[in-house]
Amino acid sequence: MMPKTPFDFGYKIAIKSNECKLLMRKHSLPTLYRLCIRVIARNVEQSNQDNWDLSQLPSTIKIDLLQLNMKLSIGFSNENIFIQLLTPNVTQLVFRSSIVTDSMLDCIGERCKYLQELRIFDSKDNGKQLEMSTDGLNKCIKRLKCVKALQIAGSDKVTDKTVEMISQSCRNLESLWLNDCKNVTDDSSDYFKSMQLNDLNLANTGVTDKWLSELANSTLMESLRDICLKNCKLSQDGLRNLNWNRLENVNIIGVSIRDLSFIPTTASYKTLNWSV
């Protein structure tokens, strides 16, 4: 076997007796297609200036452009480009550093019947801030029948009404993150009761001890394995209502507690993050 050199481009030479074989390691070199797609994804915003009609591209190329754009956190500043690239085959959408408008959400709800994961983060870029409305968001969620993971972070457009829509429409939901959505309050408790989530993140929201007390012994508490209530206005009295015998990972950093005496001795959690 020849030693690897600084100019090893993914090939190796196997020498056996008088035979010499040239072998290529799988996926060692990017294909010309992948290189081209990456360049186009990084410059997709230019298509609007050059009047490209992205809607005429084959579905597989649209999906690759969309996925690369989101993987590289490039984002969109023009809703028309996103709408031209969106196809019914998309199962995952993660918006970082991107605008999100009602038109984009409407397109997602209409086309992506089998969407499995939707994540929306508020961008710090002034040119790519979330422009969606509460009504536009709720209308989209109403049509996401197959979604399993939903995250909308740092948006004041998420309200208790949004939670109600999620409860009614997203029956297959397993993971819900509404962290930093200040308008999620105790009034959402009735909508959470029937959810069967494995993972819930309500960090920096408006839920209090009242929310926890109303959810005690609910379907939600029977299904939850991971929960984050970081920086919520809770106390030991409220936290007693968690189903500690089922929870595995708990984050209550920033919650006002003196000690952990409220946790039953039968609790079997794996990780617990808290602060005094």
Q: Beta strand 11-16 with 271-274: parallel, antiparallel or unpaired? A: unpaired
Question: For position 12, what pLDDT does the model report?
Answer: 44
| Three-state DSSP state, 149 | strand
State mean pLDDT over 195-201: 98
139: which DSSP letter? H
Question: For position 4, what pLDDT does the model report?
Answer: 44
Question: For position 171, what pLDDT does the model report?
Answer: 95
Are 205 and 227 spatial neighbours (Cβ–Cβ below 8 Å)? no
When pLDDT is cut at 50, 70 and 90, the band that residue 126 belongs to is low
How far is 180 from 230, CA to CA, in rounded Å? 10
How far is 199 from 220, CA to CA, in rounded Å? 10
**Type of residue at 245:** N
List the domain boundaries for the chain: 31-169, 185-276
Question: For position 14, what pLDDT does the model report?
Answer: 45
Q: What are phi and psi of 8, to 5 degrees?
A: -70, 110
Question: How many CA atoms does the CB half-sphere of 100 hold within 13 Å?
Answer: 25
Name which residue leads in pLDDT, 137 or 27: 137
Alpha-carbon distances of 21 from 16, 17, 24, rounded to whole Å: 8, 11, 10
Are 147 and 116 spatial neighbours (Cβ–Cβ below 8 Å)? yes
Do 31-169 and 185-276 agree at the fold level?
yes
Question: For position 50, what pLDDT does the model report?
Answer: 65
151-161 pLDDT, tens digit each: 999 999 999 99
Q: End-to-end CA distance of the chain: give it in Å, rounded.
A: 59
Domain spanning 31-169, CATH architecture: Alpha-Beta Horseshoe (3.80)
Mean pLDDT, all residues of the chain: 88
182-195 pLDDT, tens digit each: 999 999 999 999 99
Domain 185-276: CATH class, spelled out? alpha beta
